Structure 1
């Protein structure tokens, strides 16, 4: 991997700024002082599952994936960016005296703009136009994850569906998250807590709502039937750890028939909202293969279905999903438990949501992650404000019965006033 010099900018070391765009949904994306150093991962697991595993990171300065903006000594914003959804170079910047040395391991276009916001929004407009993006209005969603996690049952879905109706909450989609399947990777079989997806879908549809489902199509547990029976489908470089065990990547090309079968089954069961998670694993060997796999899923579920990406390479996904998670998972705690901003926390989710607000209405509907508003959520007022100001897709993920008066009022307000499909007026805030 060779980095060639793209520019040597005269900067103000005390006032200059660098905007570093991360690889995927959970990768930190921030604006930093030019004299600083951006986030560095603490473990190999974080490098594989939250950053760009095939690209090492320098010890100092900055490394963006496909897009970096820096301000010079006169305040102008210099943008270094790719024009391709498949050829995404890493872009580095390092301060040398009063010069910022910018290098890249691929082709980048260097343009100059009045300010950072203009540099980002004009890039978004042009990139989206090349991809033929037409942003659709996002539905409002109730998601099972942040109360029930992997222990969700059919009875939990029924209870909250009834509560949403009783409180007349304006929810368009009831989305069943992780826990319905036998195992991550074994999507054609149900867990012992579910008996019939078709029954649940019918009940949701009978209430006047759409049915949604969570799938991690390019990931599998090492203990899954899929890994045992089809080792030829596995991506070696995507090994990681989650759900208390080892995980493996699933090659979008070699496992294409299986992926087609999975999404055909789900579509025939009546789902038309799909949350596709841990998508990064499908791009580790090949961005082209990732895009082919995602395009095949879109073909199978049909143009009327709504597709949300998560844990996904950002720029390679433009034009292939309707909405995108733009930050790490939310949590009831403000700070990440291990201090790592890639991991679940309000601090990490809010920072990325604000830094990527310019993508909403250009690439897709931004998903800041779910509103959680029950009493035990730390600084819940701040998270609700972030979702309301900078979010695009409004989803909620409390057990309805767990909401107090403030939580219910806030949940109702945000569901009742989702943003439109156009860009946000305030950019990055």
Structure 2
């Protein structure tokens, strides 16, 4: 195998036939990230829809060889781990590739990198050493711990109603559960992009926020700020705010919620003012926890009003959101370009969505399932408490959840965010005891 066009050789090494491993890092939260025994084929998208929503749209890794976003490492099987990382891993989108031929590994990159050789054979320890050094070099403050939370998604999905939130809010009090944040997930808005227009089940969203805060809890909310659905008022009334093809016309950014999706160009002054208004309005209502989802849409290639490259535009968009909500609010990035989010979010999803079933239905390790969520959370464990608080996705331990004991153990072992997402009054004794134990810090 040879390197792809545009990749220059940056490092070469010889590996042992036994024990050699390669760490491949995915672009965004949902992109598979794992360590592979040398010669094992890495995970790749099984459909174009999955590639559009869950992988880096501008990357085209083949089925053979290894292709990594920002950082790649090779344990040579002879006592060293070779870490090859972008010289500026947070503000650039450098890709690293490894071509294997017998015992020879040639590593290439499409931008400036630094190579570090760490003694030992522990890939996670070598990557953590790199992460600590990278964070120090960027002058990053230690990340804040994530608050405990309850999220509506895995019980109610997009059909959630105000009554469901209130029932669980009251259950937290009667069950004496130490939940800091009550987070309203997808389903409260009329459409994807129309965040301040309520759905039928949330006529008085501001009043619900006041009810949550009146119980002594913090209020949280879900948004996909870089997305506009084709059915949204935003897309219909402001097509000039959407990311464009170089030759003109809105750039298709994926398909979900049974509609086409477009990326909002937050470098457009009017779009920037609009998103500032959305977030500042929620902040004024008393919301101080923001789960911002599918935000890789802000870093796809396209023609932007500012002319900025995708990573710069993405980071500028996150700064805009931070400025609107203030420094004390907690921002959870989800579906997020992982390394470009460092320093701009407080916690980050480090994996695909979990699920009530163990294996992904389509066999793609970016798709909702416990197996996919465990895979990438293990791969990114070295980041926890260094770049941000790792979010392994929600704690779901109801009786209907397959493999619930192992999933609860996984959430606990990650040691980052703990967010319950069951109907609390529906938990059996084991589920309630486990939820209480993991929420208690």
TM-score, normalization by structure 1? 0.95
- Which segment is superposed worse, 107-116 or 274-283? 107-116
Matches of 1:284 and 1:133 in 2, distance apart? 28
Which residue of 249, 265, 278 maps to 2:281?
265
Matches of 1:139 and 1:72 in 2, distance apart? 39
1:69 aligned partner: 73
1:104 aligned partner: 109
Contact 2:125–2:382 (CA under 8 A) maintained in structure 1? no
Matches of 1:198 and 1:243 in 2, distance apart? 25
Alpha-carbon displacement from aligned partner over 1:79-122 (angstroms, at most 9, x marks no partner): 10013212121111121121011111111111100132332112
Counterparts of 1:7-406 in structure 2, within 5 Å, are: 7-84=11-88, 85-115=90-120, 116-129=123-136, 130-236=138-244, 237-254=251-268, 255-285=271-301, 286-406=310-430
Alpha-carbon displacement from aligned partner over 1:20-67 (angstroms, at most 9, x marks no partner): 111110010000011122111122222221111011112311100010
Alpha-carbon displacement from aligned partner over 1:230-288 (angstroms, at most 9, x marks no partner): 11111244521101111111112112111111111111121000000000000113110
Contact 1:327–1:348 (CA under 8 A) maintained in structure 2? yes
Matches of 1:238 and 1:330 in 2, distance apart? 26
Contact 1:68–1:79 (CA under 8 A) maintained in structure 2? yes
Contact 1:48–1:238 (CA under 8 A) maintained in structure 2? no
Matches of 2:277 and 2:344 in 1, distance apart? 20
TM-score, normalization by structure 2? 0.92
Matches of 1:189 and 1:291 in 2, distance apart? 27
SS in 2 for 1:239: strand
- Which segment is superposed worse, 148-157 or 38-47? 38-47
Aligned length: 417
SS in 2 for 1:188: coil
* Contiguous gaps of at least 5 residues in structure 1: 418-429
SS in 2 for 1:273: strand
SS in 2 for 1:88: coil
What's the Cα RMSD here?
A: 1.2
* Contiguous gaps of at least 5 residues in structure 2: 245-250, 302-309
Q: CA deviation at 1:131?
A: 4.7
Matches of 1:238 and 1:53 in 2, distance apart? 11
Matches of 1:195 and 1:76 in 2, distance apart? 59
Matches of 2:77 and 2:143 in 1, distance apart? 37
Distance 1:49 1:319, change over 3 A: same
Matches of 1:318 and 1:17 in 2, distance apart? 26
Contact 2:225–2:293 (CA under 8 A) maintained in structure 1? yes
